[in-house]
Structure 1
Amino acid sequence: MTKIPAAKSRVNESISRFKEYIDSRSESEIKVLTFFSLLFIISLFALAPAILDVGIDYLGDSDGDGYTNRNDAFPTDERYHLDTDGDGYADKIDAFPTDERYHLDSDNDGYADKIDPLPKINEYHVGIDKINDADELYQVAKLLHGNEDYEEAEKYVDKSLSTKYQNKTQSLKNAIDLALKDYSGLYAGAEKLLEINKNDSLALCSKGVALAGLHNYDEAIHCINLAIEYESNVSDIDIYKSVLEDVEKHQSEYNTQKSTKSSPQFYNLRFEDLYAGGYVVYVYADTYGASESLANTLAARCASGQVTSSKYDAVVVYLTDINTGIEYYGEYKITDYYS
């Protein structure tokens, strides 16, 4: 078996010969050779660890794992042999075996601990009951909002606010309410921020959007104009102006609809039969300006129309406002069997 000491002996012999060669040269020749001598010595030291390491037999298998030392990234540890990214962590224990920048992912969520805002928490599986820190709850809500999982995000942001009120958390809550078309919630959240700073341009714009969703267009436009007035960032001003244009457009459409239609129009009408203390036909529809009264009106209209027959005991209506997304309940009893 070839051993490293033999190589070490040959290196020592080469050094001795090189020294004899230098001694035999004239002073002027030595000056010329000095630069090359330094290169030789530097190269020798760089190679020394590999050449002179007498503890490793590169053709052998020191740890007996079936991989020769030459092909084993961990020649003295039988548990591992492969390190694809060369980061010093075996592929078996490296969460990112092809990326030398990272190796650890404590919560197994696919994000390395170095870039994970919550390295100990798997954002999507740990469960809200296990998190009690307001900032961690905020981070989870933010991630869920980014993934458009708004209903789940709302749970985390609400708990974060109840644990510790922060402006950034309230702003995130407003964004979630907007995505869910909860304009009443958005209005309340904007008001909280304005209590802290009445010139908060983002809060003013949020309040304006909420008012528009509730069909209070004149007040909405006033709030958004204030946001434009108080904002100094040009890009944000452009965003607020774009929002203002949308609100004015919705106002025009809403007013036109109110003036040209003597009776409300119902869209996406759909029906479902169900026995619930009597035979009931459930009616689902969308409209502008929905209300509980209008839902009851639709139920009565359906009960007296062709959509029902003598087998039905009641009509139940779920009427959704197209602008706000708010659902209203209405019913009309046809017989006494429905309770």
Structure 2
Amino acid sequence: MKFVLTKQQAGKIRSTAVELQLKYKTVDNPEFHQVAYQYAFDLPKDLLVAISVFDSTDQPLLQVRGLPVNNELLLHTPGSWREDRSTEAYLCEFMHYLISVHVGQPFCWKTQQNGRTVNDILPVRGFEHEQLAIASKSNLMWHVEDAFHDARGEFLSLMCLRNHDKVPTLISAPNMNNLSASSIAELMKPQYLVRADDAHDQNTNHNEVGTDEALLEAFDSARNLRKVGILFGSRKCPYMRLDMDTFGRESFTSEAAETAYRELCDLVETSAMKIVSEPGDVLLVNNFLAVHGRPPFEPRYDGKDRWLQRLLINSDFRKTAPYREAANSNVLFA
């Protein structure tokens, strides 16, 4: 699905975001979370309809095009998610949030990018060859976001701020009817071992945890292996929690389990499509139906690198209650 904003519609969204930025400064402001949904109803009605259809009919992807991003005001692409960003980048976070909140509650992990609601996806020196969103020279393997966790988001939203080199995002939403019945049955058994990826690792985050015992425990917990089914829900149209990096050789408890896994991986590969996002594009991805990845690219490190913003979204926020930093918080402990 695709929705293209008119210039008038895009300008109205930006004006609303400017108003919110002046009042709340950042999307991390808890007071903003309380009113965001109200302001989001100021979005164009036909955009709201498109988002509703995407959500209610269980579509794998919605691309919204045309949000206004001022490249000059955006300034340079940061060298790390830890660096300060421009006022324009923070404004983009508000526009992004207003669209995303219509499919659920945006949230973040305390164990990722120090618990910021919006995560930056950009190349970082020293991580070029890792299986991380901040890598560049590695082939980012197919995955749903946070496959290891039961409170993972049902949706993932990616907004493009800069992409001079036309680096594509890879999306695959395989038709599960093409899997054999025996493989579906095998993949639904809670027999596959999975752990968190390195995005939830303390060393990756450079997190100054100090004596924060709860956060130290969360980092340790995220790395524990847990046994899950890769497919779940209806056998006729199952959802998936696949991550080709964190489901490895140690995941397979039988030859049948591995055979089924390989069949699914082959189906994902043959269902792949490339999407080259432009500044102002938002990709809303159903994290239960589609996996995503990215081919290798050569980082610039000149302030003009590819720069995306990521939001995680839960349509059923009650399931996150055991993991929240506080009862009214959108920050979760893994």
Pick the TM interval, shorter chain: under 0.3
Structure with the larger RCO, 1 or 2 (CA within 8 Å, 6+ apart): 2
Which structure would you say has the larger Rg? 1
TM-score (ref. length: structure 2): 0.22
Bigger strand share: 2
Bigger helix share: 1
TM-score (ref. length: structure 1): 0.21
